[in-house]
Structure 1
Amino acid sequence: MPGRPRFSLVASIALVAMGALCARGQDLTTPPPSVTPGVPLTLDLSRRDLVNFLTDDKALAPYRSKTGEVAPLRDVFMLGSVKAPWAVIWDPRTCRLLGIFDLAAAEKTPESTQPPVPSTNLPDGDSGKEDNSTSAASPFLFKAEGSFPLSKTQGASDQPRYFGFRLVDGVPEFLYHCGRLAIEERIWLDEEGQVLRQRLVLKDPPKNLVFSVPKEWKDRVESSAGSWKGTDLTVPKEQAGEVILTYRLIRKETEPQPSESN
């Protein structure tokens, strides 16, 4: 896209509280994705070291040392667009969507409730102070909860192994294994930034695919296949080859506000 700055996502984040999380990174600018119908946005992709902002014990488990210290997030992927106020965070260490940061909300968040500034060089095992704020104005629209989302699927485990990533039509696709499962996962912003889409492709899918989402997000996530029971989506084998989840980022006026635990 002519004249587009390569570091547009980083520049946007530097203007708000998300800049307090960043320790280092290298940016890539990608062309518009064309994976599904809609109005997908031009995406910016970067790699970052961040203070660990997770607060759920099970989600934090892979980052805790034997002495209980919480490791920082290293080389996580950050995805966003200058046309949408979101920074989407995906970690190759745990192969999962970790968070969605609301840049607009961060501008209104008091400094005392923002994540702490990390040191320039985060040492191994350094504990990123957890964001235990009880403010309802948390800039995190989404935080990962529970074990690995596919851990309840037959043949899966809660310790995925990252293989690599590639760009497909401008969209990042992450490749990893989880137990006996080989998974391809894409994430991108769509519909003018109003939704986040997550596409899962399983090679030789199991009898039933089970995918878990945070409790507060159950009513804001839609699936291209399967049925819900509580926070668990179950997709039968014949439909589990490709599943697309749609996360509605713009809350409807009739929806309740999130609890203060976020």
Structure 2
Amino acid sequence: DPNIDFLLERQREEDPFRVLSMRGQNGQDVRPGMFGLELAGGHHPNDLARYRDLIGMAGSQLPINLLTSSNVLRMLNVRYVLWPDQLGAPADLGLPADITNNLRRLNSTTVQGRPYESVYGFPDLPRARLVADAVVLPDEQAMAYLISPEFDPARQVVLSDPPPIDLPGGEVEGTVEWVERNNNNVTLRVSADRPTLLVLADNWFPAWKARVGDEEVPVLRANHSLRAVPVPSGEHTVDFYYDSDQLRWSLRLTLLSLTVVAGLIGLDWIRSRGRAERRAE
């Protein structure tokens, strides 16, 4: 698939990004994920409810916010869109101008000489970024603000609880460098000229913990479903790590069960051997 190959090449050369796949014309396509591409939409039986709220997906319907809100596309790090050409151009469907005017066709495929599918680029925000301005809103107000023109995800973050540091606002002069990234750990090097929030556009969950240097810091729920941590000015290493008490106890119970089963098997073997020896006598 030339379009998948194109995206995989971009993935090897660029910082993390997400893809919105409209294959199937319903936003539920997960096939690019089979090749290791990270998706913004797609159906999964264990979706987090707040993430579904953020992308505007009810049941198996279209993720409407991914098609109508440039704020959501940007904050979720959607850099590429897979678009079936039989739908026509994105502008033909009446999508908002602040989306269609920023889409650039980068690659395309044909079938029997007819346009089949295109890859569009979109000016996303980095997966991890620094923001020095926050507003605290309850969930029932957060979504409406996040998709409104008053919200700029490049400069502000919406929190569910007050931040533990004073934020001066303004544009942060700083850098974020990826050090390590896997399913259970994310490590970044951060430099900032002022106290700031490091916003990570991955899902928040209570088991995610974080350290700035050697100090434990709270992982705040940001932009309804994402993560943020407070970072002082200066240079720091930030570690996100998954630490679930429930998972730890589940593993302990599993090991205990396996030990008991192994013991019972061993006991049965000893008894069987004893009976065999007595019969032999």
TM-score normalised according to structure 1 size = 0.34
Bigger strand fraction: 1
Larger Rg over CA atoms: 2
TM-score normalised according to structure 2 size = 0.32
